[in-house]
Structure 1
């Protein structure tokens, strides 16, 4: 299992937990963190024993976005190995931030504290979102004369009502967890310190389902999002119908009839 000095990986059952681990800088994005995220997503994609991913942050903070001081003086963006990785794949940072990569497995965000700027942008690439009551969200880029180029001008209006998306994008103001839930940016608000516990609980429920079905459902939701309804329904049928002929589908039906838990084997 990989990881870097700013990104730790841990297996909890069938869930891979990715932890942004730079708490002294409020988990601001660094090159070692981005490389670790990139490699973590790939590990989850390639390991069939991983059925879900949880993304969280160390030290009571999710992510305060890009480290502007590091961009100015090179701190946090150093390391020959990491710079070489970025030269070899100039798209690596966008894949790490889920702008140019969609993980095959469901990704559940467990947010505590600040999840702003690049943190809110990464959040939009996750599938299910849990936050502590004290969490804060927002896209602060315009306040610095910057552009939220991690995908927010495209994704946010598709994920929450347009008026809320534009207010968030154009004012750069902070959004407390309860408001973020009310506008649909996150799904659960839990007591501070328990977001990871709740995320792992949701992950365990996902892990108990048929993995082929879970991955096909996630892919269908994303791939049909921008299609006309008729085209989306056609693609859904094309993707979903073959699942009924799998051994996992037969096992699910048998388990239901026999009143037991199913044992899926991804085939």
Structure 2
């Protein structure tokens, strides 16, 4: 009998003109492995390139959206993550982006990359159980998936820095106030509501909807490009520190980090 832990995966199904992309790693609160991130990129690319698909819903199985990245597999000494293919859609919207509607659905734990991918989508529907936290700086690093500029574009400087500096947890009501999510519904109704919105979108002319999103992207691309270009510098800065090593080790040992500021 195999004793291997279940391996997470990301799947895609279609419902008429709608692509439903589902993250499945419930045993680890839907934490992302590098392989899962590659699968998500593949499915988003498949959606983008299929003219018969007019809207997509990105969701997660079970009670939680995601606890974030499986950190040691991305940043530890045995990391297996590799650079993503620039020809494929980037789930964080930092490289190639989908030009068609993308609805994110969140519930329960929605940490770090879960927030960043939600903010890279166009519309977000949250269950009332959703709780959010951008906690990278509690691990000795910093956000690399767009939080440093998408918090600003969604909610303004003061609100953005409040949550980015505190690395605090906030609930669905606060996410709605900030503009991070567009609707909050009772748990159990969140997926149905997202599908309802996708079907309403699909009643409209897909070429017109796509042209609208492309035009909107052109408006924000210049500012986003400058913020994206500084991500390598952020990585170089934080990964060169003792605090980064302490942060990763504290995650592995499941304890609070003891940072020294060096």
TM-score band by shorter chain is: 0.7 to 0.9
Residue in 1 that maps onto 2:121: 126
Structure 2 residue runs of 5 or longer lacking an equivalent are: 1-6, 224-262
Q: Measure the CA separation in 2 of the matches of 1:118 and 1:195.
A: 20
Residue in 2 that maps onto 1:253: none
RMSD over equivalenced CA pairs, Å = 2.3
> Once the 2 structures are TM-superposed, how far is the Cα of residue 162 of structure 1 from its aligned partner?
1.6
Instruction: Indicate whether 1:154 and 2:157 are aligned.
Output: no
> Once the 2 structures are TM-superposed, how far is the Cα of residue 225 of structure 1 from its aligned partner?
3.1
Residue in 2 that maps onto 1:46: 49
**Residues 9, 24 of structure 2: 8 Å contact kept:** yes
Instruction: Indicate whether 1:169 and 2:172 are aligned.
Output: no
Partner secondary structure for residue 160 of structure 2: helix
> Once the 2 structures are TM-superposed, how far is the Cα of residue 91 of structure 1 from its aligned partner?
5.0
Equivalent in 65, 70, 85 of residue 68 of structure 2 = 65
The alpha-carbon distance between structure 1 residues 118 and 92, as it changes in their structure 2 partners (threshold 3 A), is farther
Q: Measure the CA separation in 2 of the matches of 1:165 and 1:95.
A: 23
> Once the 2 structures are TM-superposed, how far is the Cα of residue 193 of structure 1 from its aligned partner?
1.8
Equivalent in 169, 173, 180 of residue 178 of structure 1 = 173
> Once the 2 structures are TM-superposed, how far is the Cα of residue 226 of structure 1 from its aligned partner?
6.3
Q: Measure the CA separation in 1 of the matches of 2:46 and 2:175.
A: 30
Structure 1 residue runs of 5 or longer lacking an equivalent are: 229-267
Partner secondary structure for residue 216 of structure 1: helix
Q: Measure the CA separation in 1 of the matches of 2:62 and 2:154.
A: 28
Residue in 2 that maps onto 1:242: none
The alpha-carbon distance between structure 1 residues 93 and 138, as it changes in their structure 2 partners (threshold 3 A), is farther
> Once the 2 structures are TM-superposed, how far is the Cα of residue 223 of structure 1 from its aligned partner?
1.2
Aligned residues: 216
Superposed CA offset, 1:137-179 (max 9, x none):
1211111121001111122101112211111111100110011
Q: How do 1:167-246 and structure 2 match up within 5 A?
A: 167-225=162-220
With normalisation by structure 1, the TM-score equals: 0.75
Instruction: Indicate whether 1:20 and 2:23 are aligned.
Output: yes
Superposed CA offset, 1:226-255 (max 9, x none):
679xxxxxxxxxxxxxxxxxxxxxxxxxxx
Superposed CA offset, 1:182-227 (max 9, x none):
1111100000122111100000011110001000111112211367
> Once the 2 structures are TM-superposed, how far is the Cα of residue 68 of structure 1 from its aligned partner?
1.9
Q: How do 1:83-102 and structure 2 match up within 5 A?
A: 86=82, 89=84, 91=86, 95-102=90-97
With normalisation by structure 2, the TM-score equals: 0.76
